[in-house]
Structure 1
């Protein structure tokens, strides 16, 4: 009986250890991929290079960084320090998974899908002359469709009717307030 309990305990301990190690590796591999994207975008921004200096000395140690996930682990946000010869700036990168039908496990997603993340936002926090810090977008400019290419939105009569009927349902009840005054 004692050997059976030892074996069971060892198996549970091994399983928990592998789960934690996989979770840590998934976070770290995602952090490295997004950090590299952020550094690449920072190297393309002339204002950032002029402000903190170029070439960048380093991107700071991993323990000065942070990573945050949405509950379903489809979206992630990281913040890491980027050090230049003149100053340091925090760079923030937000991304989502490109393949929604991919692996749920972050380790498998990064290894087997090639860490396919779509960058939604990337910005650096730049100090100004007054000591205030302001965010600066590092995302490249993308032009939007011209007005002639837009498709006009159409609302059906039933949709308009539903919206009009909901206006009455939103009105606040003021009878309690009037009764309280008396």
Structure 2
């Protein structure tokens, strides 16, 4: 009887863990879809944000450099003039007011992308994943309070995918 009870408890706890991960909510802006741990709120025309149960914040922001008000020529010239990762680092530092580690460049479905992180003094860690597709810059940001798990960060970043266009 004890063995059966233990098996049932293990099954229920395992099923609960799997169910929690399946409940992430998928949202799409322009060409990229990402999964949030809860229903995100819209913070701007192209910005979504959500929090998980540990108060970790997940932000998805999209900027079209051809959008009115942006200096698209300057942005694109700056990005194409080499060493994109250091340029992303500088923009992140100006935006968040903390020092970021040097970004790691890689490809996202053949498009330029980079990862970076910052350790904010005493408060939180900030992780950024930036993807460049055409004139769009996609930013996935995770803000983790000190002492909280970064487990959701990896799932969030890996959930990014090209949206199915109809």
> TM-score band, normalised by the shorter chain?
0.3 to 0.5
**Higher-Rg member (1/2):** 1
Higher share in strand: 2
TM-score with structure 1 setting the length: 0.30
Higher RCO, Cα 8 Å, sep 6+: 2
TM-score (normalizing by structure 2): 0.33
